[in-house]
């Protein structure tokens, strides 16, 4: 019974993944691609990537960026989920509809709106800050340093990711029965104690999955980073996916790009190792 | 879990696409001329040849070659490099393609274009546009034919110049700066007024200033290029850019180019006296204010003495090495590079690539006339495969400009850094 499904999985997942690994050991530029030449170069691509000090800076930057965005997303999502639990029906509906709308807006459309908001000369943010009395923000450039640029990008990614996290966690919260909260309040539990004793156990497995997924998504986010400043200024907001694009698509160095892809996968596995084990274990205990 | 599985399927699709690319290739096209009805696939770019031109051209071509149909497809610039990469690698490659001049050396070096060195005479070689010719050549061989180009001019508000007492169009740097001072004296009380809107990353204008000083982006020796932005001439060009930014009091962002936000829209807002732009940006500006077309004049970008050299951006025509009908493709290029069709380009406001007859351009309004004036002094970027990487990726010239203008780096540091990035890209 499992055979057809397995064949499909191997064909659709295994083979392309294997191809990427193979390509990372080949010299494959535009010319080789067009002429269909296969040139094996061993670990040359890896040596080239790993010996570039820039690669390590970018890796560190990507990990820090991912951590920050995931933490902000999950905390905000958790806050909203708890809030939804306590809101009256009408207000909750309004909140949920706005969340869905934020989620449904195409990435590039949102990115463009953010670019307008943060525009140096005509952006509503600078204008508002000046109106509020912060004169120094007149003509302030939010994209003059890598840290500032990545913060804006982080905000943007976070804004788009929060709805999914909030809804998923809210669903987890609904799993804790109202009776439990009632019992807790009869025992004299404070709001915080009720959260620790009742909500938290219901949330934990969902939270683990949400964090895991967020790490995957935020680690490989490309569109927003590229659209805002192409990894600038001066390459200071370049993350690993942008590096992959620069090597592979801009530079037509598919072999080197594949090596970057494999290295990205390794970093990702290292970062999520604990969560993967946790996921596997929690599934075992549930069964 | 639903969206998880969706992104999984998406990922698989991407991986499959990549895998598909990797597996293809193999047998090349060749010249197996078929008998019977044939089809010539032509890819031109959006906004390139006017429809009236292609209609007439295809009619004439099909009449001259019975049994041949021209399959004409208009491509979008956005993402064209990826599309061409895929198409040129396939067994079903188009027969004639238009490629941006800065992308041409890359495709030529990878030997995915047909060597047409033997046929250049039939493509009007003696009248080729200087700014494009270099980009169509690699290692002494000809891989493409200049198609058309455009260069930047200074667009200005005639009414503002008149009110400020600027009677003649500036022809050199000193006159240009004097005009800016007069404009500022007249309109400076309006705090939104900008004598010249010049964003920090308008690197095409920087090239004009560098060339005017006698410098260049890189020096060429055969197929080896060496970045030369740290030369005194290049630094002088960069210094003039800064002088211009400071003298004009432009409020444009120092960390963006002329497209973000689109400068034509800002010019159309009516508070800007000059921009350095392409002739058709007047039409874009007119969308904000239709009166602007009437009020706009133009002059070539001023140099130290007389017009400065200008960057010529444009397109070349080439035949993919995988084309199945290369002889027919040559016939097609021969026809489109003839004076008859090239003059249509001039009429449409572009500099023809294979004809020196600019009369139609000179008659086409002030912006086109100014473009025609500086077109004889057109130059291109280094004709190296590495240049495509620079433009599709992170442009070190833009980073250099921003770092120098904002004071983040000294001029020596900024030029040395940009030089290093360029040399790395040239090395491939």
What DSSP character marks residue B55? H
In the block, residue with structure tokens 């800002």: B266
Q: Which residue has the higher pLDDT, B174 or A280?
A: B174
Residue in chain B nearest A18 by alpha carbon: B19
User: Range(s) for CATH 3.40.190.10 in chain B?
Assistant: 30-150+313-379, 153-311+386-427
Which among A120, A234, A250 has the least Cβ separation from residue B253? A120
Chain B contact set for A29 (CB, 8 A)? 110
Bridge partners, residue B188, by sequence: none
B88 interfaces chain A, CB cutoff of 8 Å: yes
Q: Which two tokens stand for residue B388?
A: 């495509």
Which residue of A11, A33, A34, A45 is the best one to mutate when testing the B interface, meaning the one whose CB has the most B CBs within 10 A? A34
3-state SS, one letter per residue, for chain A: CCHHHHHHHHHHHHHHHHHHHHHCCECCEHHHHHHCCCCECCCHHHHHHHCCHHHHHHHHHHHHHHHHHHHHHHHHHHHHHHHHHHCCHHHHHHHHHHHHHHHHCCHHHHHHHHHHHCCCCCCHHHHHHHHCCCHHHCCCCCCCCHHHHHHHHHHHHHHHHHHHHHHHHHHHHHCCCHHHHHHHHHCCCCHHHHHHHHHHHHHHHHHHHHHHHHHHHHHCCCHHHHHHHCCCCCCCCCCHHHHHHHHHHHCCEHHHHHHHHHHHHHHHHHHHHHHHHHHHHHHHHHC
Closest CA to B281 of B270, B291, B294, B267: B267
- Measure in Å the smallest separation between the Cα of B24 and chain A Cα atoms: 6
Rg of chain A in Å (alpha carbons): 23
Report the C-alpha gap between B311 and B313 in whole angstroms.
6
User: Domain residues of chain A, as ranges?
Assistant: 46-286
B28 pLDDT above the threshold of 60: no
Which residue of B255, B319, B422 is the best one to mutate when testing the A interface, meaning the one whose CB has the most A CBs within 10 A? B255
Average pLDDT over residues A14-18: 90
B363 interfaces chain A, CB cutoff of 8 Å: no
CA–CA distances in Å: residue B271 to residues A117, B69, B322, B355 = 22, 51, 52, 39
Which among B88, B252, B261 has the least Cβ separation from residue A34? B88
The ipTM (two decimal places) reads 0.77
Answer whether B89 sits within 8 Å of A34, measured CB to CB: yes
Report the C-alpha gap between B306 and B105 in whole angstroms.
31
pLDDT digits (tens, 9 = 90+) for A63-114: 999 999 999 999 999 999 999 988 899 999 999 999 999 999 999 999 999 9
User: A210 near A168, Cβ under 8 Å?
Assistant: yes
B261 interfaces chain A, CB cutoff of 8 Å: yes
CA–CA distances in Å: residue A42 to residues A47, A264, B313 = 10, 19, 40
B18: how many CB neighbours lie within 10 A of its CB?
19
Would you state the pLDDT for residue B367?
Answer: 92
B89 interfaces chain A, CB cutoff of 8 Å: yes
pTM (predicted TM-score): 0.82
Closest CA to A260 of A244, A249, A273, A245: A244
Chain B contact set for A119 (CB, 8 A)? 253, 261
B353: how many CB neighbours lie within 10 A of its CB?
30
Answer whether A254 sits within 8 Å of B22, measured CB to CB: yes
Identify the helix (H) or strand (E) that includes residue B277.
Answer: strand B274-277
B415 interfaces chain A, CB cutoff of 8 Å: no
Report the C-alpha gap between B388 and A127 in whole angstroms.
38
User: B237 near B210, Cβ under 8 Å?
Assistant: yes
Q: Does domain B153-311+386-427 have CATH number 3.40.190.10?
A: yes
B399 interfaces chain A, CB cutoff of 8 Å: yes
Q: Which residue has the higher pLDDT, B246 or A274?
A: B246
Chain B contact set for A19 (CB, 8 A)? 15, 18-19, 22-23
Answer whether A120 sits within 8 Å of B25, measured CB to CB: no
Report the C-alpha gap between A280 and A283 in whole angstroms.
5
Closest CA to B261 of B154, B393, B272: B272
Report the C-alpha gap between A155 and B183 in whole angstroms.
41
Which among A17, A22, A143 has the least Cβ separation from residue B15? A17
Would you state the pLDDT for residue A285?
Answer: 56
A64: how many CB neighbours lie within 10 A of its CB?
13
Closest CA to A33 of B325, B394, B383, B322: B322
Positive or negative CA dihedral for A146, A151, A152, A158? positive
User: A203 near A172, Cβ under 8 Å?
Assistant: yes
Chain B contact set for A121 (CB, 8 A)? 251-253, 261
Would you state the pLDDT for residue B21?
Answer: 40
Residues 175-234 of chain B whose Cβ lies under 8 A from any Cβ of chain A: none
User: B113 near B324, Cβ under 8 Å?
Assistant: no
In the block, residue with structure tokens 């639903």: B2
Architecture of domain A46-286: Orthogonal Bundle (1.10)
At B111, give phi and psi (nearest 5°). Answer: 60, 35
B394 interfaces chain A, CB cutoff of 8 Å: yes
Bridge partners, residue B321, by sequence: none
Instruction: Please report which confidence band the pLDDT of residue A283 belongs to, taking 50, 70 and 90 as the band edges.
Output: low
pLDDT digits (tens, 9 = 90+) for A135-146: 888 888 888 889
Residue in chain B nearest A116 by alpha carbon: B261
Answer whether B253 sits within 8 Å of A36, measured CB to CB: no
Answer whether A119 sits within 8 Å of B261, measured CB to CB: yes
Residue in chain B nearest A245 by alpha carbon: B393
- Measure in Å the smallest separation between the Cα of A120 and chain B Cα atoms: 6
Chain B contact set for A238 (CB, 8 A)? 394
Report the C-alpha gap between A159 and A69 in whole angstroms.
10
Report the C-alpha gap between B385 and B110 in whole angstroms.
9
- Measure in Å the smallest separation between the Cα of B154 and chain A Cα atoms: 22
Answer whether A232 sits within 8 Å of B394, measured CB to CB: yes
User: A68 near B57, Cβ under 8 Å?
Assistant: no
C-beta pairs of B336-343 under 8 Å, 24+ apart in sequence? B336/B49, B336/B57, B336/B147, B337/B123, B337/B124, B337/B145, B338/B124, B339/B124, B341/B53, B341/B56, B341/B57, B342/B124
Would you state the pLDDT for residue B35?
Answer: 58
Would you state the pLDDT for residue B366?
Answer: 92
A5 pLDDT above the threshold of 60: yes
B273 pLDDT above the threshold of 90: yes
Chain A contact set for B16 (CB, 8 A)? 12, 16
Strand order in the sheet with B274-277: B274-277, B153-157, B296-299
Which among A12, A23, A246 has the least Cβ separation from residue B22? A23
Chain A contact set for B22 (CB, 8 A)? 19, 22-23, 28, 33, 254
Chain A contact set for B26 (CB, 8 A)? 36
B181: how many CB neighbours lie within 10 A of its CB?
15
Q: Is B172 helix (H, G, I), strand (E, B) or coil?
A: strand
Chain B contact set for A34 (CB, 8 A)? 25, 88-89, 110-112, 321-322
Q: Is B156 helix (H, G, I), strand (E, B) or coil?
A: strand
Positive or negative CA dihedral for A78, A84, A85, A87? positive
Residue in chain B nearest A230 by alpha carbon: B394
B321 pLDDT above the threshold of 80: yes
B225 pLDDT above the threshold of 60: yes
> Is residue B376 packed enough to be buried (19+ CB in 10 Å), middle (13-18) or exposed (0-12)?
middle
Average pLDDT over residues B123-138: 89
User: B144 near B329, Cβ under 8 Å?
Assistant: no
B31 pLDDT above the threshold of 70: no
Average pLDDT for chain A: 89
pLDDT digits (tens, 9 = 90+) for B334-343: 999 998 899 8
In the block, residue with structure tokens 């807006």: A105
Query: What is the CATH number that goes with domain B30-150+313-379?
Result: 3.40.190.10
pLDDT digits (tens, 9 = 90+) for B371-416: 999 888 999 999 998 888 888 788 999 999 999 999 999 999 999 9
User: B426 near B220, Cβ under 8 Å?
Assistant: no
At B320, give phi and psi (nearest 5°). Answer: -60, 145
Bridge partners, residue B276, by sequence: B154
- Measure in Å the smallest separation between the Cα of A253 and chain B Cα atoms: 9
């Amino acid at each position: 019974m499992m055979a057809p499904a397995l064949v499909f999985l191997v064909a659709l997942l295994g083979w392309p993944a294997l191809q990427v690994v193979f390509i990372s050991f080949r010299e494959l530029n535009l010319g080789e691609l067009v002429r269909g030449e296969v040139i094996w170069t061993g670990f040359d691509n890896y040596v080239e990537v790993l010996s570039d000090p820039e690669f390590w800076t970018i890796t560190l930057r990507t990990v820090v960026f991912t951590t920050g965005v995931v933490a902000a997303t999950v905390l905000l999502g958790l806050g909203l989920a708890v809030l939804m639990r306590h809101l009256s029906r009408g207000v909750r509906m309004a909140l949920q509809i706005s969340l869905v709308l934020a989620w449904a807006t195409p990435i590039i459309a949102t990115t463009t709106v953010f670019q307008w908001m943060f525009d140096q000369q005509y952006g509503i943010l600078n204008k508002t800050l000046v109106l509020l009395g912060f004169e120094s923000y007149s003509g302030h450039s939010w994209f003059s340093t890598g840290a500032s640029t990545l913060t804006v990008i982080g905000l943007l990614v976070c804004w788009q990711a929060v709805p999914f996290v909030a809804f998923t966690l809210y669903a987890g919260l609904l799993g804790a029965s109202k009776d439990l909260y009632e019992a807790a309040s009869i025992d004299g539990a404070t709001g915080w104690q009720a959260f620790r004793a009742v909500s938290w156990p219901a949330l934990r497995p969902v939270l683990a999955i949400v964090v895991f997924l967020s790490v995957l998504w935020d680690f490989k986010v490309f569109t927003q980073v590229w659209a805002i400043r192409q990894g600038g200024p001066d390459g200071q907001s370049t993350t690993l996916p942008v590096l992959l694009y620069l090597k592979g698509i801009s530079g037509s160095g598919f072999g080197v790009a594949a090596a970057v892809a494999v290295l990205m996968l390794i970093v990702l596995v290292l970062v999520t190792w604990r969560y993967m084990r946790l996921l596997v274990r929690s599934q075992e205990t549930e069964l | 879990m639903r969206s998880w599985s969706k992104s999984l399927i998406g990922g698989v699709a991407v991986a499959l696409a990549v895998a598909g690319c990797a597996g293809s290739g193999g047998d090349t096209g060749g010249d197996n001329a078929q008998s019977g009805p044939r089809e010539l696939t032509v890819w031109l770019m959006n906004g390139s040849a006017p429809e009236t031109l292609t209609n007439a051209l295809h009619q004439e071509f099909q009449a001259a070659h019975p049994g041949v149909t021209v399959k004409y497809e208009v491509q979008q610039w956005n993402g064209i490099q990826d599309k061409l990469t895929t198409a040129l690698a396939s067994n079903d490659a188009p027969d004639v393609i238009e490629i941006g001049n800065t992308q041409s050396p890359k495709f030529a070096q990878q030997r995915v274009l047909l060597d047409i060195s033997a046929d250049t005479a039939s493509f009007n070689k003696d009248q080729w546009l200087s700014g494009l010719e270099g980009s169509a050549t690699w290692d002494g061989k000809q891989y493409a034919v200049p198609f058309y180009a455009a260069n930047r001019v200074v667009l200005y508000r005639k009414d503002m110049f008149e009110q400020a007492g600027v009677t003649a169009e500036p022809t050199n740097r000193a006159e240009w700066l004097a005009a800016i001072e007069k404009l500022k004296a007249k309109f400076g009380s309006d705090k939104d007024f900008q004598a010249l809107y010049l964003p920090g990353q308008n690197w095409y204008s920087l090239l004009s200033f560098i060339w005017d000083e006698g410098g260049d982006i890189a020096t060429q020796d055969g197929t080896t290029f060496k970045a030369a932005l740290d030369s005194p001439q290049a630094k002088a060009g960069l210094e003039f850019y800064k002088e211009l930014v400071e003298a004009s009091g432009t409020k444009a962002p120092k960390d963006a180019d002329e497209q973000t936000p689109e400068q034509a829209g800002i010019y159309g807002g009516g508070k800007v006296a000059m921009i350095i732009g392409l002739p058709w940006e007047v039409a874009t500006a007119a969308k904000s204010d239709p009166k602007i077309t009437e009020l706009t004049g133009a002059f070539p970008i001023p140099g130290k003495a007389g017009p400065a050299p200008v960057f010529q951006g444009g397109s070349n025509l080439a035949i993919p090495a995988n084309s199945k009908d290369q002889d027919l493709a040559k016939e097609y290029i021969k026809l489109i590079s003839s004076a008859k069709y090239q003059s249509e380009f001039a009429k449409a406001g572009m500099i023809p690539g294979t004809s020196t007859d600019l009369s139609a351009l000179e008659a086409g309004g002030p912006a086109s006339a100014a473009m025609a004036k500086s077109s004889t002094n057109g130059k291109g970027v280094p004709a190296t495969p590495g240049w495509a990487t620079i433009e599709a990726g992170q442009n070190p010239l833009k980073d250099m400009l921003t770092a120098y203008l904002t004071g983040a780096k000294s001029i020596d540091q900024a030029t040395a850094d940009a030089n290093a990035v360029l040399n790395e890209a040239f090395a491939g």
